[in-house]
Chain A
Amino acid sequence: MSTPRLRGKPPVWVFVAATIAAVAVALTALAVLGSRSLPARTGPPVEQLAVERTVLTPSVIELTVRNTGPDPVQIAQISVNDAYVAFTGSTEPLNRLGKDVLRLDYPWQEGQPYAVSILTSSGAVIEHEIAAAVETPATGGNLLGLMVLLGTYVGVIPVALGMVFLPVLRRAARSVVRVLLALTVGLLAFLAGDAALEGLELAERSGGAFGGPLLVFLGAGMAFLALTAVDRFLTNRSREQADSPASLDSADGTNGRRLAFMIAIGIGLHNLGEGLAIGSAYAVGELALGTALVVGFALHNTTEGLAVVAPLTRQRPSLLRLLALGLLAGAPAIVGAVIGAAVDNAALASLLLGVGVGAIVQVIIQIAPALRNQTGRYLDPATTGGVAAGLLIMYATGLLVAA
């Protein structure tokens, strides 16, 4: 960022520094004077606690709580299903964003729901629901091993299964491939919507101290920008070899490869989110939910392999390249599951789900030009049908996740 110096004028950095200084002075003045002119906040303190993690061991319920409100919170007593229980934890007020671990002495029964009511010093009650009590698996090497295994089940294997369809696709006509790509757009659009809603829901649970729903959009925006940059880089490298940016008919198929690569990254980031969901379900002891997620996601993800290989019908990628694409799309599920199980932080998870959303949106934009027919139209009956079919397939397999 060097700017040529002009004779007789101060260098640019002086202007920059002066401007920053002026803004800083103005903001400081505003903070000092403004805070004085504002009326003092009246009324009862705003007490908020988010339960970030629930660990169940025999006769003990352990809650990790964070103060997500503006005022300190003093936890005074706790009742479970309307019975006061003995517990350990800090006896000092919890300051904003402060964290504490509460160990409740309670003979919980497997599979039963529990309502934990945290009574603060001001008499406010903060409720936490445990939908179905299940002993929390011990963390550590064994759990991480399990997560790697589940991530493989959910991510790598289904994606590989989907990619097996490549030879079939090769024999298909050009129009069939177009419809297939439209189908992929439908699948991805559904995943983006689903992940966004999931992320917003999680952000809600995080209590909003770290930005709440904003985190999903932040993650989406950052991922979109980062992937766009990767795409530009790849385009620049292959510019001289391609005529039109995303034509599948280009001589050596560079664009097809690039597209497959971008789709794999997008799906990979999406699978990272899925892994997180599985990992955190296990970590919080919702074992039943975790396994349901595994079965549902595995079926659901078979279609993702199809999406990855759809742009490769006009070329003969090496087995190694296919393997790499499969891992790129599937392996992040493993990473996600490990992070989810080890960290289990709603705010982080919603940020990462947002990353998945941004990635998918970017991929859809990548695929879009390939949907054009001979007359240059995007949405003819064949492609709209493909998109709709993709949405419906995802909806149908998505039902399995909740089963």
Chain B
Amino acid sequence: MSGASRRGFILGGAGVALGALPGSARAADGDPSPSAHAGHGDPSPHAGHGVHGGGINGPMFRGGAVDHATNGFNPSDVLRDFDYGKVSKLPNGRTLREWEIFAADKEIEVAPGVRFPAWTFNGRVPGPTLRCTAGDRLRVRFVNASEHPHTMHFHGIHPAEMDGVPGIGRGVIEPGGDFVYEFDAEPFGLHLYHCHVGPLAEHIARGMYGTFIIDPPKPRPKADELVMMMHGYNTTFDAQGNQLYAVNGIPFHYMHEPVRVKRGELVRIYLVNILEYDPINSFHLHGNFFDYFPTGTRLEPSEYTDTVVQAQGQRGICELRFPHVGKFMFHAHKSEFADLGWMGFFEVTE
């Protein structure tokens, strides 16, 4: 027997019982037809009431926003926060960029009222966006101020001993230790860096990642540039998916504080997926299309689209102009991720 017909039968039985009783609960409801609620496959049993009630305006958190001050970072700032490092010239005339990055254990508020014991680069999730130009000499001094062993592993082309994986070169940097990763910036494109200590999934899921941009020798056209790093939080630490999905640290953040851009201006989004425990992530933009440059290693777009899909570690550059003013949503087109936090707004003004 199918569920619907069984329910119909049973409710019919209840109707008999209810009918035998004057002034039953349903009659008192002001609903003259008990069968209106019976299982006839009606998808909207309350449509007749003329009220929708709550929930239909989309997912949301109770209590609005998290405490950015205590967290020490705000996703609205992370968006346009590019760290070019300390710049100097080498004797041979090349540009030298130096950074100092520290690893630290830090509890952050990832949703109103939800604490997450994160492992961070420079105290934020994601870590700082490091930016340089192809051919630069890079020197990243990594200080492990965490209670756990970590490394920094950069995507790009570099010597084996600078790869930041256990057992090769300096290998794992123990708590209290430090090390200088030194290599040349190549190839140009949009990359990332992350810790590469086992269990790898946990070190990444705890928050140890950041965006790494190598600009081409001839700069890309001037634009309003944004970094969006897609990631999530497995707050139960069971490695079974995530409870929260976010861009630049805090779920739903850009729902309350939309990303402000100008109408007609070129917008360039550096989009990186570092989501752990779920195989793919995606980016979908409302009311517009964009040129997509996979990994940013070529200067010609491969696609003109409104939706891209990225596996973990994949990234690409989106370029677009908004022809209309107003608020336009962007979110994972894996709807579940959107409902669990990966959702925001662009606000286009004149």
Contacts and interface: CB of A to CB of B under 8 A. Distances in A.
Given A91-B63, A110-B42, A83 B21 contact: no
B105 to A, nearest CB: 15
B54 A82 contact: no
Interface residues of B, number: 56
A104 B62 CA distance: 10
A150 interface: yes
A76 B340 contact: no
A287 B37 CA distance: 12
Given A60-B53, A105-B55, A111-B7, A143 B25 contact: yes
A20 interface: no
Interface in A115-149: 117, 119-125, 132, 135, 137-138, 142-143, 145-146, 149
A146 B62 contact: no
Among B17, B51, B54, residue most surrounded by chain A Cβ atoms (within 10 Å)? B54
Interface stretch (A33-41, A180-188, A288-296): A288-296
Contact of A82 (B4, B110, B336): B336
Interface stretch (B111-119, B170-178, B209-217, B297-305): B111-119
Interface string A72-114: 0011111100111111100100000000000011110111000
Nearest to B113: A76
Interface in B1-57: 3-4, 6-7, 10-11, 13-14, 17-18, 20-21, 23-29, 37, 39, 42-46, 49, 51-56
Interface string A220-255: 000000000000000000000000000000000000
A142 B39 contact: no
A333 to B, nearest CB: 14
A294 to B, nearest CB: 7
A142 B23 contact: yes
Contact of A149 (B21, B62, B114): B21
A153 B16 CA distance: 12
Contacts of B84: none
A77 B116 CA distance: 14
Contact of B339 (A78, A82, A153, A295): A82
A287 B18 CA distance: 12
Nearest to B4: A111
B71 interface: no
A107 B53 contact: yes
Contacts of A137: 25-26
B324 to A, nearest CB: 28
Contacts of B17: 146, 149-150, 153, 291, 294
Interface of A: 58-60, 74-79, 82-88, 91, 104-107, 109-111, 117, 119-125, 132, 135, 137-138, 142-143, 145-146, 149-150, 153, 287-288, 290-292, 294-295
